[in-house]
A and B are shown apart, each in its own frame.
Chain A
């Protein structure tokens, strides 16, 4: 079965630190890749997406992600986090010709002021 895995369950860091969250997916052909964020008490919001072209994609709020096809990975990065980045982050994948998203288990990020 196709699956998505996120490496970290909970990450704690200080403001201004750099953030990198790992995401890997199982092989199954061409994929579309997404990162979503869920702030406390809010609904899921799309951070960024990758379909094709430049493997380095930039999203909202200063986030970026890099698609490495050979590693089946799509890691999320932010050079300098803020307290307001405290949230849960989900990696999601859909395989071409399939609309539904498969989600990773999520990573809770806590940023200490």
Chain B
């Protein structure tokens, strides 16, 4: 079946601009996660959504980062006033539950110039 999809695959933006990254999880998966992968920091958790519960935002690095999940499916990660240190690959994952394993999308490579 279809896996997790993300768009765009690559995004180049100027410092100070806002960007939106999209994630389509695997159909039926109730949990959705955002991580980022960078050379200096490895794989870092950002935020996750589980069903109708309030999202766990504990990994968001600053208030410039926000995310929403509409209709329990698609999610959008928004970064406002981008900075060069935001350059990374942003990964989305989804799962059926805590024990089912998380399935990752191909990521969005963000470059802030």
B48, B95, B106: the one contacting A43 at CB < 8 Å is: B106
B42 and A43 contact, CB distance less than 8 A: no
- Interface readout for A86-113 with B: 1 if CB under 8 Å, 0 if not? 0000101010101111111110000000
Residue total for B at the interface (Cβ-Cβ under 8 A): 24
A99 and B42 contact, CB distance less than 8 A: no
- Interface readout for B82-102 with A: 1 if CB under 8 Å, 0 if not? 000000000101010011011
* Chain A: CB-nearest residue to B49: A99
B45 and A100 contact, CB distance less than 8 A: yes
* Chain A: CB-nearest residue to B102: A101
Chain A residue numbers with a CB within 8 Å of B99 are: 32, 49, 51
- Contacts A99-B50, A99-B56 given; does A43 touch B107 at CB 8 Å: yes
State how many angstroms separate the Cβ of A8 from the closest Cβ of chain B. 15
> Interface on B for A, CB 8 Å cutoff?
31, 33, 35, 42-45, 48, 50, 56, 58-59, 91, 93, 95, 98-99, 101-107
Give 10 nearest A-B pairs by CB, closest first. A103-B43, A44-B104, A100-B45, A43-B106, A46-B101, A49-B101, A51-B99, A105-B42, A43-B104, A99-B98
